[in-house]
Amino acid sequence: MTQNAETRLGKVALVTGAAHRIGAQIARCLHGQGMDIVLHYRGSEVAARTLAAELALSRPDSVLLHRADLNRCHEFPGLIERIRAFRGRLDVLVNNASGFYPTPFDDAGEEQWEDLMGSNLKGPFFLTKAAAPLLRAASGCVVNLVDIHAERPLKDYPIYSIAKAGNAMMVKALARELGPQVRVNGIAPGAVLWPEQTPDEGVKQEILARTALERAGTPMDIARALIFLVRDADYITGQIITVDGGRTLQQ
């Protein structure tokens, strides 16, 4: 059997927002499980190409790069056709890409609403819809990156919190819609990576003090939970695993 034929027997995962942070770690771990990876990115082309080159070192011709704005849902069929041409299948969809920035209530605008709802809710929904035929054919699975603030709203981030609450319900609703062929689950991270607008040290320590394990998590903590859902959780669907070091145990 040729190397190309062997590769085509392997599974394929699409990871959105895969260029850096949690998305990049998820892509590395899925690739380490032997999957070929479709790396989606929007603006981080240099980081995406760097990651693709890193993964290709261990297994050439195992990565497909795709740039897209997840607010432009009409472009999704083109992405799915690229995946079909790449390997002819899709086994895992990881809806990781997410907009995140403050929208204090008194200043919140419609443009911010459309942007945050687009990246956190509308985009993942319609991307899953576009991918559903390939996922059904492969008896695949979907994993959404949700957030602990889907249940406990983050002050000054009302639109983001509302969007993630919708994302959490999407996990449950699509588990019913896509079963029995496709499983749909979610992961809700806590203090894993600080946002780009890094809080000062005092705020960080206050957050960690309200976490049972009294420390921040890492992207690998999220990736391990995702590998479990993808590889080992054949009878789990419609569930959201909270990976927050016990943060949601406290007020």
Cα distance between residue 81 and residue 62, in whole Å? 17
Q: Which of 41, 101, 157, 160 is catalytic?
A: 160
Cα distance between residue 157 and residue 161, in whole Å? 6
Confirm if 147 and 188 have CB atoms less than 8 A apart: yes
Beta-carbon contacts of 160 under 8 Å, excluding residues fewer than 6 positions away, are 99, 100, 101, 103, 116, 120, 147, 149, 154
Confirm if 210 and 250 have CB atoms less than 8 A apart: yes
Q: Tokens for 104?
A: 């204090």
Beta-carbon contacts of 234 under 8 Å, excluding residues fewer than 6 positions away, are 183
Q: Cβ–Cβ contacts within 10 Å for residue 91, how many?
A: 21
Asked about 160 being catalytic, the answer comes back as: yes
Confirm if 18 and 9 have CB atoms less than 8 A apart: no
Q: Which residues are known catalytic residues?
A: 160
